[in-house]
């Protein structure tokens, strides 16, 4: 799960300025705003070197962010994503991203110059660039560097939705949760790939989950901190026959923090595994499965299931 640290919308206009670096103007917290047009359209809203057309040749322009505190109290890394669209001269003009963990003293290029979105092909509108992961830092800075050669140009790029998210690791990584009927009971099984500071699992049951009517049926204690697969199971010995039985799991940390997993599992206890012998009404008369009202399904193993249909 990722905690959004900051969501930024950036529109970069490749202005024909000679100075390096060109710093984005402060305005929107934490200070990233468009340096020019905000729409990918014709005329003066065209995100290029100037309102008249394409970016200039022989450019080397940098757009640099202010310092961002990308610290996370519960994560050691952050993920960076953004969207891009536009184009540059194939294999000769390039846009690339760099980041710094020390306020701009040294810079790191996570993608590489001249690869992928950085200039070897055009980017369709709304393309999400593959995310990259970096260590957390209170002195994070980013800069987009655009470079063009002495001939041939194109539209340039527009960049939007620049997001920085803390890579929060949950105490328990659940990988499976399943349930099935075994005889007169319902068997529940689940597995984890990692656990840290997990106290127990609270297994809850309902026949009416829409009304949020849940009953705790079992507390299963953790097998301990681990980085390997751990398997758990219980049997629900008293499900409601003739109805669908729903189950969910709430995980509880050693500090009492509770997390209820969204995925539910269901066992259909309206059906029987034993062959059906006959269907009768309340007077003991044989009827068929299309008979309305209360009927009784009688199975070969002697069990009976009352049903209103």
Q: Which of 167, 200, 223 marks a domain boundary?
A: 167
Helices (H) and strands (E) in the chain, counts: 0, 20
Same domain, yes or no: 15 and 96: yes
Same domain, yes or no: 109 and 87: yes
Per-residue model confidence (pLDDT) at position 4: 37
CATH code of residue 244: 2.60.40.10
Note down the domain range covering 302: 276-308
Distant-in-sequence, close-in-space partners of 58: CB < 8 Å, separation ≥ 6:
148, 149, 150
Per-residue model confidence (pLDDT) at position 283: 82
Per-residue model confidence (pLDDT) at position 85: 67
Per-residue model confidence (pLDDT) at position 157: 67
Distant-in-sequence, close-in-space partners of 159: CB < 8 Å, separation ≥ 6:
10, 11, 12, 82, 83, 84, 144
Same domain, yes or no: 96 and 21: yes
Q: How many residues does the chain have?
A: 309
Q: Which of 167, 185, 211 marks a domain boundary?
A: 167
Same domain, yes or no: 118 and 184: no
Same domain, yes or no: 263 and 241: yes
Distant-in-sequence, close-in-space partners of 23: CB < 8 Å, separation ≥ 6:
63, 64, 66
Nearest in space to 122 (alpha carbons), one of 151, 97, 149, 88: 88
CATH code of residue 66: 2.60.120
Distant-in-sequence, close-in-space partners of 37: CB < 8 Å, separation ≥ 6:
11, 13, 44, 45, 46, 47, 51
CA–CA dist 150, 93 (Å, integer): 10
Same domain, yes or no: 148 and 192: no
Per-residue model confidence (pLDDT) at position 190: 94
Whether the Cβ atoms of residue 287 and residue 259 lie closer than 8 Å to each other: no
Same domain, yes or no: 121 and 218: no
Same domain, yes or no: 234 and 303: no
Same domain, yes or no: 180 and 294: no
Same domain, yes or no: 24 and 142: yes
Per-residue model confidence (pLDDT) at position 24: 39
Per-residue model confidence (pLDDT) at position 160: 65
pLDDT means per 10 residues, the chain with 309 residues, are 37 33 32 34 31 66 76 80 72 80 89 51 56 87 78 72 74 88 88 91 92 92 91 93 90 89 86 75 83 78 69
Rg (CA), the chain: 30
Same domain, yes or no: 39 and 150: yes
- Report how far Cα 306 is from the mean position of its chain's Cα atoms: 44
Number of structural domains the chain divides into:
3
CA dihedral 112, 116, 118, 122 (to 10 degrees): 170
CA–CA dist 187, 179 (Å, integer): 5
- Determine if the pTM surpasses 0.85: no
CA–CA dist 106, 266 (Å, integer): 55
Same domain, yes or no: 100 and 153: yes
Distant-in-sequence, close-in-space partners of 214: CB < 8 Å, separation ≥ 6:
204, 205, 206, 248
């Amino acid at each position: 799960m990722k905690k959004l640290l900051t969501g930024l919308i950036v529109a970069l206009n490749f202005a024909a300025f000679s100075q390096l670096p060109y710093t984005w103007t402060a305005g929107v917290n934490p200070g990233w705003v468009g340096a020019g047009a905000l729409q990918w359209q014709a005329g003066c809203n065209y995100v290029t070197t100037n309102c008249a057309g394409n970016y200039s040749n022989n450019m080397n322009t940098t757009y640099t962010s202010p310092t961002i505190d990308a610290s996370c109290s519960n994560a050691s890394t952050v993920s960076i994503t953004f969207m891009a669209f536009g184009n540059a001269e194939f294999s000769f003009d390039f846009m690339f991203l760099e980041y710094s963990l020390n306020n701009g003293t040294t810079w790191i290029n996570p993608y590489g110059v001249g690869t992928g979105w950085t200039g070897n092909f055009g980017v369709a509108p709304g393309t999400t660039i593959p995310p990259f992961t970096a260590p957390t830092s209170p002195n994070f800075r980013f800069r987009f560097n655009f470079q063009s050669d002495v001939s041939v140009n194109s539209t340039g790029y527009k960049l939007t939705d620049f997001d920085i998210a803390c890579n929060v690791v949950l105490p328990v990584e659940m990988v499976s949760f399943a349930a099935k009927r075994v005889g007169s009971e319902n068997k529940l099984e689940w597995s984890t790939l990692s656990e840290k500071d997990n106290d127990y699992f609270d297994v809850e049951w309902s026949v009416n989950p829409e009304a949020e009517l849940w009953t705790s049926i079992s507390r299963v204690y953790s097998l301990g901190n681990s980085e390997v697969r751990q398997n758990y199971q219980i049997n629900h010995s008293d499900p409601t026959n003739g109805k669908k039985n729903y189950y969910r799991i709430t995980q509880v940390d050693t500090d009492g923090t509770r997390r209820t997993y969204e995925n539910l599992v269901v066992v259909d206890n309206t059906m029987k595994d034993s062959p059906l012998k006959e269907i009768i009404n309340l007077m003991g008369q044989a009827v068929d499965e299309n008979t309305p009202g209360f009927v009784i399904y009688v199975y070969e193993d002697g069990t009976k299931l009352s049903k209103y249909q």
